[in-house]
Amino acid sequence: MINKPPKACPEFKQSRDKPWITQYPEGTPAEVGPVPWSSIPDFFASIVRKYPDHPAVANMGTQLSYTQLDEISSQLANYLAQEIGLPKGSRVAIMMPNLLQHAVAILGILKAGLIVVNINPLYTPDELQHQLSDSGAKAIIILENFCHVLESVLQVTAVEHVIRTSIGDLLTFPRSLVVNFVVKHVKKMVPDSRIRESMPFKWALAKGSRISFRPPEIDPDDTAVLQYTGGTTGVCKGAVLSHRNLLINMQQSTLWISRGAVPGKQIVPGREIVINALPLYHIFSLTASFLTFINLGSLNYLITNPRDLPTFIKELKRVPFTCIPGVNTLFNRLMTTPGFKDLDFSTLKLSVGGGMAIQRSVAERWKALTGCSLIEGYGLTEASPAVCLNPLNLQNYNGSIGLPLPSTECSIRDDEGFELPSGEIGELWVRGPQVMQGYWNRPDETEKVLSPDGWLKTGDIARIDDGYIHLVDRKKDMIIVSGFNVFPNDIEVVICNHPDAVECGVIGIEDDDCGEAIRAFVVSSNPELDEQQLILYCRERLTPYKVPKSIIFVPDLPKSDIGKVLRRKLRELMN
C-alpha cells in the first residue's frame, strides 16, 4: 500500500485571491460539489439507468450499448472476483490498445473491487517487468499480440492469472472470425508464445455469465487506478488515484465543457460522439475522454491504431463525430494526411489538446480547416489528470493552458516555496480534490511532490496573468514526445550499455511531428560506430517513442565540477 502524506486532497475553500474565477464562462460554478456516487461502478450504474439503449463504445464497426457494456463488464467482474477469487484491492494489469475489450476490462476490474494497472502495450520486457513487479499485479488481461513479451518476464513477477484476448473477440459475427484470422494467419501479427494456463477472454466471460453478480462495497477513497508515470522527479512510479479523484476530475471536466460553448455548438447529453484515438492506458484518455463522455451519455468511438492515418481517416468518414481530444502531434499529422481536409466537419463542436504543448501554427491551421478552435488544456498524471482548460468559446489561440478548473487552485512559487505575485515566473503548484493520494509504496517520492497542506509541486515553470496560466519551461529535463513523458536518464543508461559507448547525454529538440524529438550526444570508443547502428541498438531495448531520432558523436561532453553531464550546455550546442 502507500504511506499517505498529511491530507493530500483537502476540501476546496473559495477565497478572493483566485483571479481565474472572474474569467469563468457564465454559469460555471467555482466548485464541483461533493461526489454523489460511492465509486466508479456506482456512477456507471446510474448512467446505464439513464441511457440504457444508447451506444456507449464502438470499435471496428461494432457498437455496444450502455446495457451491453454493463452486462459484459459484470461477467468479467464475476470471473475475477468469484471464479478465480481475487480479493478486494488486488491489482489487475491491462495491456492492450483501444479495443472494446479494453473498455470492458476497465469497468470489470473496478466492479470487482480491484485496482486497474494500466500498461503500455509497446513496453519492452524490462519495462513490463518493472511495472508488474512494482504494482504486485496478480492478474493481467492482455492482447495476445503481446503475450511473447509477457512470457519473457512472467516467472519473475507476482502474476498468477493471464487472460488473453484476440483483436476481434467482441466484434459481431462473422467479422470477429475474419479479423482474428487475418491478424493471425495473413498479417502474422501474433508472435508465438507458450504461456501455460492462460484463459481466453471469451471463456472468462462465459464462466462469469453463469455467476450472479454480487457488487462489493467500495469506498470513494479506495484506490481505483495505479497510473505509472515518471512524475515530476523522473523515477517511474505508480500514482495512486482513488475513485473520488477520478470522479471529481470527471465532474470538473464535464462542468467545463457543458458551459461556455460557441452558440449553436453546445454539448448535449446523450447526443455526442467522441473520437477516442488516445490510448485508454493513458490518463488523459481514461478520464477526459472515456469517463467524462460516459457521464454525458456519449458514444466513445475507439481508434485502435491512430498511427495508421489512412485507415483512421476512413473511419472518420463514417462517423458524424462531434468531439475529438488529442495531442499536438495527432492534430498535426491528421492535417497533413490526404483525405482529411475532405471530411465533413459540420458536426464538430469540440477539439481539445493536452498531453503536450499545442503549437500556434497547428492551432491556427486546425481552426482554418475545421472551423473549430483547438482548445488547449493542461494536466498531469498526479492530478487525474486535468488541472486547467481554456474556455470553449475561445476564438483564437492565446498561448495559455487555460484557467484552473472548478475546485482547483494554482499557485506560482519560488524555489523556497513562497508564493510569487501575479505575472512573475516560478514553479506551478496545484491543489484540488483530483490530486493523487500519493505514489505507490514510495513515501519518499510522495513527500517530494506533495506538501503537508496538499499542494502538488508540478515541476513546471509558469506564470499567471489575469487568471490564465502560461507555461514557460520545464523545471526538469523531461522530454515530451507525442504526449508521452521521456526522461533522458532512461535512454542514457541504455546507450551507455553499448560496448562502444563511453558517455552519453540526451536532450529534447523541437520537432514539427512529435512536439519534441530525442537527440543523443555520444562519446564513442569505436570510430566505426555510426548513428544507424546505435539507433537500431536502442530500438531493440526501448519503447519506440523513447528511441532517439538523431545521434551526434562528440569527443567529450560538457560536465560540472563533480562530473555531472550539463544538459543545458548540450542545448546551447544547438544554437
Predicted pLDDT at 260: 75
| Helical (H) or strand (E) element with 494 | helix 488-496
Predicted pLDDT at 435: 98
Task: Please tell me the distance from the alpha carbon of residue 168 to that of residue 186, in angstroms, as a whole number.
Answer: 14
Burial (Cβ within 10 Å: 0-12, 13-18, ≥19) of residue 452 = exposed
Predicted pLDDT at 527: 94
Task: Please tell me the distance from the alpha carbon of residue 434 to that of residue 139, in angstroms, as a whole number.
Answer: 27
Q: pTM to 2 decimals?
A: 0.86
- Judge whether residue 188 has pLDDT over 80: yes
Task: Please tell me the distance from the alpha carbon of residue 415 to that of residue 434, in angstroms, as a whole number.
Answer: 24
Task: Please tell me the distance from the alpha carbon of residue 92 to that of residue 107, in angstroms, as a whole number.
Answer: 12
Predicted pLDDT at 406: 97
Higher pLDDT, 301 or 124: 301
Task: Please tell me the distance from the alpha carbon of residue 325 to that of residue 333, in angstroms, as a whole number.
Answer: 14
In 32-88, which residue ranges form alpha helices assigned H by DSSP? 40-50, 66-78
Query: So what's the architecture of 479-573 in CATH?
Result: 2-Layer Sandwich (3.30)
**Closest C-alpha among 128, 130, 137, 131 to residue 109:** 137
Higher pLDDT, 44 or 359: 44
For 391, left (φ over 0), alpha (ψ -120 to 50), or beta?
beta
Kindly state the cell numbers that stand for 437: 493520494
Structure confidence at residue 513 as a pLDDT band (50, 70, 90): confident
Task: Please tell me the distance from the alpha carbon of residue 174 to that of residue 70, in angstroms, as a whole number.
Answer: 23
What value does the mean pLDDT take over residues 534-542?
A: 95
Predicted pLDDT at 16: 44
What angle separates helix 66-78 from helix 40-50, to the nearest 10 degrees? 150
What value does the mean pLDDT take over residues 343-347?
A: 96
In 168-224, which residue ranges form alpha helices assigned H by DSSP? 175-181, 201-209
Task: Please tell me the distance from the alpha carbon of residue 73 to that of residue 205, in angstroms, as a whole number.
Answer: 8
- Return the domain boundaries, the chain: 479-573
Predicted pLDDT at 4: 41
pLDDT, tens only, 6-39: 333 333 343 347 999 999 998 899 999 999 999 9
What value does the mean pLDDT take over residues 227-254?
A: 88
DSSP state of 189: -
What value does the mean pLDDT take over residues 493-519?
A: 91
- Judge whether residue 472 has pLDDT over 90: no
What value does the mean pLDDT take over residues 113-119?
A: 97
Structure confidence at residue 574 as a pLDDT band (50, 70, 90): confident
Predicted pLDDT at 230: 63
Kindly state the cell numbers that stand for 67: 446495457
Task: Please tell me the distance from the alpha carbon of residue 550 to that of residue 441, in angstroms, as a whole number.
Answer: 36
What value does the mean pLDDT take over residues 440-451?
A: 95
In 352-462, which residue ranges form alpha helices assigned H by DSSP? 360-370, 443-449
* Cis amide linkage into residue 174, ω under 30° from 0: yes
**Amino acid residing at 217:** E
Task: Please tell me the distance from the alpha carbon of residue 75 to that of residue 287, in angstroms, as a whole number.
Answer: 23
